[in-house]
Chain A
Amino acid sequence: MDVVFKKPHALTDAPLHYCPGCTHGIVHRLVAEVLDELGVEGKAVGVASVGCSVMSYNYFGCDMVQAPHGRAQAVATGLRRALPDGVIFTYQGDGDLAAIGTAETVHAATRGENITVIFINNAIYGMTGGQMAPTSLPNQITQTTPYGRDVNSAGFPVRVCEMLSTLDGVALAQRVTVDSVKNVKIAKAAIKKAFQNQIEGKGYSIVEVLSTCPTNWGLSPVDALQWLRDNMIPYYPLGVYKDADKRDNMKGDKE
């Protein structure tokens, strides 16, 4: 019998702990498929961040390091410098990457640190139970913005790809989502390019994946995907914000 679908080698057998409908599982699979296809699992070292994905160190089959909250890209920098031939990636949520780890993110990017950053933006703190994230939308209700995010006091969301696309060290800054087969394919291509860039020594590549958090959004998985389309994509347009292989792409290549 032909095998037509199987778990990527770069995913372990450990059962994922993610909530039903959470898109972490899809993104894990995409990363693992890319590691398989590029044949780099054996020299890859992933950095798990603090947040829902902290236990990704159990799921990815490559060597893993768990970083303090916000420090994944500093840890990845240390790994990068110690392992010149390694394939180094971080897997981070929005609180980790764009709040407590903003400095690490911006500076790894501007150094052109030759790493791959997978950034899960679901506009909320998942693991701690649904607090406002740096990427929570204006008026979004969370545990710590019970009346909706008031931009007058809580400020505005951070658009990470747009911000990082201004930095010379960035090779790729692309925002994708995984709400449909088509978008999953685009996301995979982006992740693959982000790893290929690293292998070719092109510098810092970040793929931001707009993701859902049905549990903390208080929506069914299907409704959560619709909420993402209706609310997140308009605020965080999908597209390539920087691709060092192409010229003139600083303003985004909107789809």
Chain B
Amino acid sequence: MADKVLMKGNEALAEAAIQAGCHHFFGYPITPQTELAAYMAKRMPKIGGTYLQAESEIAAINMVLGASAAGVRAMTSSSSPGISLKGEGISYMAGSDLPALIINVQRGGPGLGGIQPSQADYWQATKALGHGDFQVLVFAPSTVQEMVDLVQGAFDMADKYRMPAMILADGMLGQMMEPVVLPEKSEKEPIAKPWASCGHKGEREHNIVNSLYLTPNALENLVKERYERYETIKKNEQMAEEYLTEDAELILVAYGASSRVAKGAVNKAREKGLKVGLIRPITLWPFPTDAIKRAASHAKALLTVEMSMGQMVDDVKLACEQKLPVHFYGRTGGIIPTPKEILAEIERLMA
């Protein structure tokens, strides 16, 4: 096994993407994701890849669109305000059935907001990254190692289902260093992309990568076909960690940075004899409704913990079909809640 190294989340993401066969990175500087782009700028020239600093977030995502349309693995990374700008391109990519990886190292919002860690882009990532009926795959790592581990799968699933994938990280995960074992270079043959616009060489009809359908029936049929794919994904690709949930009366639901804090609070609560567990969604879309449903069948209440004013809590409520109360505890604006705060909330709810 390869050695453990100490690496920032942002840098680890970049290296993992390179190992997953992504040799085309297009980005624009923004805190707190800058190390990712800087790492790419250093590495790409050495492996004959492309690092290109675009003139804008909008240009960057459209360069990704172009590279992806040509059939290569391409990615971009940004932070919240930059992701808003990329929304247009992401919608076009979804509408053109193009795979790609987009990293959001979230910071506080709205507007210019702040630069400290936040989870206030959950709605954006899972519900409305741009206009129109579409979804992107959304992964929510909670450690630097998991950031690395999810990258290869995110590219593979994006290729398989022909849709953009997002890693929804945050300033804490991007900036922190943890021991990490980097993946070996992927030996897997990338799947064939017969749809790519890469020059027909006179050997086939011309390919068109396009999202324009002026006939309503044609557009409806295409969107419906896409939604059938989404149903398959919802059925097969949900990922969540269930921690001490079996006998738990109160189950916390938290992802990413806040799930680490929540887990700490669960451990402290257990020391006090409180039956508390944690569900940690790893995919945010597809949302792990199955895990929530299992919890709803035996727990007495759920407590969603987020670094936002409460966004994922909507999906938790939908998933548990109002069978039990769903509480919420959150901090926003760039504040990471402390285990103490969450423990206090647990004790209040269980009193």
Contacts and interface: CB of A to CB of B under 8 A. Distances in A.
Q: Do A and B come from one complex?
A: yes
Given A86-B198, A103-B56, A64 B209 contact: yes
B210 A78 contact: no
A120 interface: no
What bracket does the count of chain A residues touching chain B fall in? 35 or more
B200 A78 contact: no
B197 interface: yes
A75 interface: yes
Given A71-B58, A77-B52, A104-B59, A86 B70 contact: yes
Interface stretch (B88-96, B114-122, B220-228, B275-283): B88-96
Contacts of A78: 24, 26, 62-70, 74
A64 B67 CA distance: 13
B69 A79 contact: yes
A41 B204 CA distance: 12
Interface in B181-202: 196-202
Contacts of B59: 71, 74, 77, 103-104, 107
Given A82-B70, A103-B59, A104-B59, A74 B54 contact: yes
Contacts of B207: 63-64
Nearest to B197: A63
A81 B198 CA distance: 12
A9 to B, nearest CB: 9
Interface string A58-89: 10111111111001001111111111011100
B208 A81 contact: no
Given A45-B198, A79-B69, A64 B208 contact: yes
A65 B74 contact: no
B72 interface: yes
Nearest to A41: B202
Interface in B42-97: 50, 52, 54-56, 58-60, 62-72, 74, 88-89, 92, 96
B1 interface: no
Contacts of A106: 55
A229 interface: no
Interface string A153-183: 0000000000000000000000000000000
Contact of B65 (A75, A87, A103, A107): A75
Given A45-B70, A83-B199, A74 B208 contact: no
A74 B201 contact: no
B208 A57 contact: yes
Given A62-B206, A103-B56, A47 B66 contact: yes
A64 B210 contact: yes
Nearest to A67: B62
Given A78-B26, A78-B69, A78-B70, A42 B197 contact: no
What are the 6 A-B residue pairs with the smallest beta carbon separation, nearest first?
A78-B66, A74-B62, A63-B197, A82-B70, A75-B66, A78-B67
6 contacts: A58-B208, A65-B69, A65-B210, A78-B68, A81-B67, A83-B199
Interface of A: 12, 41-45, 47-48, 54-55, 57-58, 60-68, 71, 74-83, 85-87, 103-104, 106-107
